[in-house]
Chains A and B, each alone.
Chain A
Amino acid sequence: MALSWLLLILLALAVIGYFSGRSRALASAGGNARELHSLPSYYGYNVALTTLLPALGVLIVWLLMQPMIIDNTVSGLVPDQAIPEGSDRGLVMSEVRRVANGLDGAVASEAMTEAQAQNPDADIEALTAALKDAGQVLTQDITQPILMAAQKYRSMTSNGSVAMQVVVLALALLGAAFAYVRTHKEFRARNVVEQGILALLLLAASIAILTTVGIVLSMFFETLNFFQLHSWKDFFFGSTWAPNFRGGSELSILPLLWGTLYISVIALLVAVPIGLFAAVYLSEYASTVTRSVAKPLLEILAGIPTIVYGLFALLTVGPALVSMFGNGGALGVGWMASSNAVLTAGLVMGIMLIPFVSSLSDDIINAVPQSIRDGSLGLGATKSETVRQVVLPAALPGIVGAILLAASRAVGETMIVVMAAGAIAKFSGNPFEAMTTITTRIVSQLTGDTDFASPETLVAFALGLTLFIITLGLNIFALYIVRKYREQYE
């Protein structure tokens, strides 16, 4: 029985529960709804929710826990000597899963009977041949322990899902029966239902916490694995980034961090002056008409997906820069060899960040009280003197916060650097050279066939965690500054 059927049955039970609960409540009041404590529908909702919620909760938890429990049990079955040299338990387990899937597929396509698939004394060669005939993909030769484990895996999975269905349906029926029996005209159905809904609302709000916990845990454990395979000294203090899938890689974050910061700094050098002047003009000088036209237009730049900027950098800005600074270019300097360069990525990222800086600064400049401006103008200062010597200093903390937020955006930006920054990790001050960033390396280490037992793959999680911490730090600091500043004038 597929999961969708189970869900449909649960829904059907809930609907039946709604109507039966409602009619039972009405019946207990002799058909007079005014005798009831709550509106009749609340009695229905009470039965429906009691049917649905515990069952669904158990279903979700079961679905999450079952693979982990089965994996642990089955992986305990694989003896140490069954793990080939140079491999590890994780790889063997993925092979086990593959064989189990293969057996499932073969049984489903009727190439094999269930008894054949579960026969522990099966002839391995015959089985392999049968699986291949059934069109199942196997990467390695099946060995006896792997087959045993795969069969155990299959039987546990199928037993587990049968048990899950029984438990979930039993819970639903129990819940329905319990709520149905409780239904009576004196029963405070509305209060109970509202409690239930409140719990659901709280649950939805907690998903934010769950996500953060998920992010941190998923990266934290893989990072720990990484540091078991690779020295942390090399990661934090090494000087070379040279992943080598045959082993002996040097995986240091420092060159990547340098590339990230260099590109971010160029982006900020573009975005901050333009964004800041635009914000000052919009808030201090522009007429309402100009403002109502220019501000949304500028903000379009922020709504354009980063893939568009990436393509713009790769196919337009990069070649344009090469035709200017490259060999035989318009300036005849020959500084730039390829269109992938720090400058390309930085410039385009800067364009992307302009509206980010300008909108935030605009809000902050607007928050500076008019009385301060009036005081300065009254003393005879010109408008620009007021802006430079009064408004901007007053808004400075907020503007710094805005710039930090933009910096965090720049550090975490992926598509532009993946497409335009290049793949060479090095320390260099030359903006016309290709360099690579943390996000680029995360993408390149985690795309394609990934093997979660090699430090070359796991390093991506360590990089991700570092990136998460850097951006989180920048954001918290920026928000703190902005908030503190706002309080000053409120």
Chain B
Amino acid sequence: MTDISQMPDAAPTAKPKSGSLFEKDARTKRRNAAESRFKMYGIAAIGIGLLMLVVLVTNIVTAGTGAFQQTYLELNVELKADKLDKKGNGNIEDIKKVSTFGYAPLIASALENEVVQLGIQTDLKPKEMGKILSKAAQAELRNYVIANPDEIGKAVSFRFLTNSRVDGYMKGRVTRESIANDKSVSVEQLDFVDQLRDAGVLYKAFNLDFIFGSDASDQRPEAAGIGVSMLGSLFMMFVVLALALPIGVAASIYLEEFAPQNRLTDIIEVNISNLAAVPSIVFGILGLAVFINYMHLPTSAPLVGGLVLTLMTLPTIIISTRASLKAVPPSIRDAALGVGASKMQAVFHHVLPLAAPGILTGTIIGLAQALGETAPLLLIGMVGFIASNPPDGIVAGFLSPNSAMPAQIYEWSKRADPAFYERAWGGIIILLIFLVTMNTIAVLLRRRFERRW
């Protein structure tokens, strides 16, 4: 306000202006320009923020949708009895003795037959042709034979995964130019792939295995899936829900309804608000030191991950629960007390049910936060672990080593083959679908049950 009086134009020595209000003088124009500039800055800031959101989302969608499609090659494989069941007695133990290498010739000859049948002209040797398939193909065939030993001697139609380069070629990630220095695929092989594609036996299809399958080793990005680590995340969320919800609600009830005004209460309150801002990696250090080093709980187990995430989400749940308890008007408590309920009864029978929707919303949001958290999981060993087998049984689900969705995504992002990057983005799409669903449920709950007193 003082600024205005100091402005030179307003000084008494200035010449009195003539002219109408409709005629803007230079200073008004300048001030108006500053005004609209300032407004533009604001719009630009919001624009940049929203633009970043759009860029991020488009990037995720364009880079990640590829993971939901996979290139397959359809082959008619003759399960030759003389190769697979040499003794001819159908004994499953004997069939198991044939290693995955023993299945390679079957696939190779099936591919050769296919080429002859389709009339494809190629200079490739059979061995080179076979290389367009994934290394997982033989194992897939072996598993099928072991599961269905009766099929030996028949010809069965299979849909094999192709290797990641061929898959990349079909998706446009790999081109003839980009493979100049690539030893694992040649231009001739890509020509061959083109011919197979035109013949209709090599095609892209929806990749269910990515969603439900298990992780695969470095060499086989085409076979990697996020299913097992999804289970890991699920078990962790069970732990978080089972611990954080009751403890969080109990703590909030104490602080909001019963806590006397004293030193202890103050310390608890300060602690909770500080814990909410402690970097998540510090919780990881705590988990490593206390749960793994001291209590000797199994490394990489969803139970430990769940415990760490519980400690991390507790402040979130406590803060939102306290807010919803506070929103219940005191008249409800007074009415309950007035008809003879004890304080405990008033809280548990009347206040808590009324606050339940708000508590639930806060819990879901806390869970969503925990689901996406990665840093503490790095320290308790949920990374670097190849989640190749789903846990057998519920106890194993909590105690045997597993990965979690964000940890799996991180793991893929570190691997050398770019085909894994596509998986990582695909994993992020799945993770975000979970988060969006959870948050939508939370918002809907709030809308549905929100009550204005």
Interface positions of A (Cβ within 8 A of B): 4, 63-64, 67-68, 97, 190, 194, 197-198, 200-209, 211-212, 214-215, 218-219, 222, 273-278, 280-282, 284-285, 294, 297-298, 300-301, 303-308, 310-312, 314-316, 351, 354-355, 358, 375-376, 379-385, 387-390, 405, 408-409, 411-415, 418-419, 439, 442-443, 446-448, 452, 460-461, 464, 467-468, 471-472, 475-476, 479
Would A281 and B280 be within 8 Å (CB), given that A382-B34, A439-B375 are in contact?
no
B360 within 8 A of partner (CB): no
Nearest opposing residue in chain B for A308, CB measure: B428
Residues of A within 8 A of B275 (CB): 208, 211-212
Query: Nearest A residue to B43 by beta-carbon distance?
Result: A281
- Interface footprint category on B: 35 or more
A208 and B272 form a contact (CB under 8 A): yes
Task: Give 1 or 0 for each of B113-142: 1 = CB within 8 Å of chain A CB.
Answer: 000000000000000000000000000000
Q: Mind listing 13 A-B residue pairs with CB under 8 Å?
A: A201-B253, A204-B254, A205-B255, A214-B290, A215-B282, A274-B48, A274-B49, A281-B46, A301-B49, A301-B56, A310-B413, A314-B413, A351-B52
| Number of inter-chain CB pairs below 8 Å | 269
If A208-B318, A376-B1 touch, whether A219 touches B45 (CB-CB below 8 Å) is no
A-B contacts besides A201-B254, A382-B32, 17 pairs, CB < 8 Å = A194-B344, A198-B258, A198-B344, A201-B253, A203-B250, A205-B250, A212-B274, A218-B289, A277-B45, A294-B50, A305-B373, A306-B374, A384-B38, A415-B375, A464-B282, A468-B278, A479-B273
Chain B hits for A214, CB < 8 A: 286, 290
The 4 residue pairs across chains A and B that have the minimum distance between CB atoms: A412-B279, A281-B42, A305-B372, A277-B45
Report how far A205 CA is from B32 CA in the complex, Å: 56
Q: What does DSSP make chain B's interface, helix, strand, loop or mixed?
A: helix
Q: Which residues of A contact B59 (CB under 8 A)?
A: 312, 316
In this assembly, does B180 line the interface, its C-beta being within 8 Å of a C-beta of chain A?
A: no
Q: How far is the CA of A304 from the CA of B279 in the complex (A)?
A: 16
Contact A298 B50 (CB under 8 A): yes
- B271 located at the interface, meaning its Cβ lies under 8 Å from any Cβ of chain A in the complex: yes
Cα distance, A211 to B290, chains bound together (Å): 11
- Closest CB of chain A to B346's CB: distance in Å? 11
Looking at chain A's contact residues, the main secondary structure is helix
Does residue B4 face the partner (Cβ distance < 8 Å to A)?
yes
Asked if B234 lies at the interface with its beta carbon under 8 angstroms from chain A, I say no
Interchain CA distance A304-B290 in the complex, whole Å: 29
CA A301 – CA B285 in complex, angstroms? 27
Closest residue to A445 on the B side, CB-wise? B379
CB 8 Å contact bits of B244-272 with A (1 = contact, 0 = none): 00111011011100110000000110011
A206 adjacent to B268 (CB under 8 Å):
yes
Chain B residues lying within 8 Å of A460, measured Cβ to Cβ, are 285
Most chain A CB within 10 A, of B38, B49, B381, is at B49
Which partner residue on chain A sits nearest B250 by CB separation?
A: A204
Contacting pair A383 B35 (CB below 8 A) = yes
**CA of A383 to CA of B38, assembled, Å:** 9
**Known A277-B41, A304-B56: A476·B379 in contact at CB below 8 Å:** no
Q: A201-B258, A282-B46 are in contact. Are A218 and B279 (CB under 8 A)?
A: no
Least distance between B1 CB and chain A CB atoms (Å): 6
A412, B281: Cβ atoms under 8 Å?
Answer: yes
Residue of A nearest to B48 (CB): A274
**B63 engages A315 (CB within 8 Å):** yes
